[in-house]
Amino acid sequence: MSSAPHRKIIHIDMDAFYASVEQRDNPSYLGKPIIVGGSPEGRGGVVATASYEARKFGVRSAMPSKQAQQRCPQAIFVKPRFDAYKEASRQIREIFKRYTDLIEPLSLDEAYLDVTEDKQNIHSAITIAEQIMKAITDELQLTASAGVSINKFVAKIASDMKKPNGLTFIGPSRIAGFMESLPVEKFFGVGKVTAAKMKNMGLHTGADLKKLSEADLRQRFGKTGSFFYKIVRGIDERPVQPYRETKSLAAEDTFSYDLTNPEEMNAELERIALLVCNRLSRYQLRGRTITVKIKYADFRIITRSRSFTEPLSSTETISQTAKALLASAMPFEKGIRLLGISLSNFGERNSLPRPSAEAIQLLIDY
């Protein structure tokens, strides 16, 4: 480990978040198997989350609601109330702010906190995590689990170890052993495919990964290989980033053949405008700059943008402006393979609502 003083990082993750909010707000649900998500009657409904009572029956997030009902016929299905979850999320953040402004929300129910320096001079990250958990219980009647360590990676894995309502501290001297015993599927960025690939190579735990050189890891896993090399040695220098500026939100489509007919292009733009508008409203964002992206059959890309003093709000305006921008780029030398529309410049002027934590995360993923 380096000689620089260690950071103090807390990862907080709410327990059975949506289901706990439902149980709190409807006491008849307390102690019962609650499933928040789509109805098992309709088609395509999935479980958003399940109370711990329902999890005993094998009900899991993202499972088809029908299957969940088969596993737990007595479960009560509840429709999500996102406004209630957002409000709880906001309240949790208010509690975090008593200790630090270095808060990085990952979703409505999860955040990293850097308490290397804390506002109340408590100095102990464990004490701060305990106080936060207590405040969440006392003030919000919800529970959270916490992981405390010197970096984000270990703190996040730790918060999952004693769920629900548990605190896990992994100090510097325990990190090496902890990482060695960690199964490969727990590593950041290891999806099912990579995990299967690793197992085929006889790599099951951190200890197995640690035997490989950085060059070897890079050869096997590309750029992520270097990340594995560091992380398995407990090195994760990613800072806690309080508020990641949302850059842009886009929708685009690649066509099965190259478009040459302007009417067809306009029809596609209208469709894409609708898509982008749906996303904007889902993430509560409005942008003042609109950009149209055009990719020619030869893969050359051009863009045309326009900025406004007011945010573009209606699908109609976005669609009309996009078509005008497309027209400004005509005539086209080649057929068009892809069209896209993006909105950016989301600033807070005109008292725009700040994107929710969820939106920020989704946009980062995007």
The reply on whether position 359 binds ligand DCP by CB under 6 A is no
Residue 108 C-beta: closest distance to ligand DCP, Å: 6
Write the DSSP string, 176-205: HHHHHHSBGGGSTT--HHHHHHHHHTT--B
Out of 53, 104, 109, 236, the residue judged to bind Mg ion by CB under 5 A: 109
Amino acid at 65: S
Residue 49 binds which of ligand DCP, Mg ion, none (CB < 5-8 A, kind-dependent): ligand DCP
Which range, of 14-22, 123-131, 268-276, 296-304, touches ligand DCP by CB under 6 A?
Answer: 14-22
Closest CA to 71 of 82, 84, 81, 57: 57
Out of 9, 13, 59, 355, the residue judged to bind ligand DCP by CB under 6 A: 13
- Contact letters for Mg ion, residues 3-42 (x by CB under 5 A): ----------xx--x-------------------------
Distance CA(259)–CA(273), nearest Å, equals 17
110 is catalytic: yes
Contact, 149 vs 169, CB < 8 A? yes
Contact, 48 vs 64, CB < 8 A? no
Geometric angle at alpha carbon 362, from 336 and 151, rounded to 5°: 130
The reply on whether position 53 binds ligand DCP by CB under 6 A is no
The answer for 78, left when phi > 0, alpha when psi is -120 to 50, beta otherwise, is beta
Which range, of 15-23, 87-95, 190-198, 330-338, touches ligand DCP by CB under 6 A?
Answer: 15-23
Residue 163 binds which of Mg ion, ligand DCP, none (CB < 5-8 A, kind-dependent): ligand DCP
Structure-block tokens of residue 265: 């292009």
Closest CB to ligand DCP among residues 13, 114: 13
Cis amide prior to 331 (ω within 30 degrees):
yes
The reply on whether position 15 binds ligand DCP by CB under 6 A is yes
Distance CA(22)–CA(40), nearest Å, equals 18
The reply on whether position 17 binds ligand DCP by CB under 6 A is yes
Residues assigned a catalytic role:
110
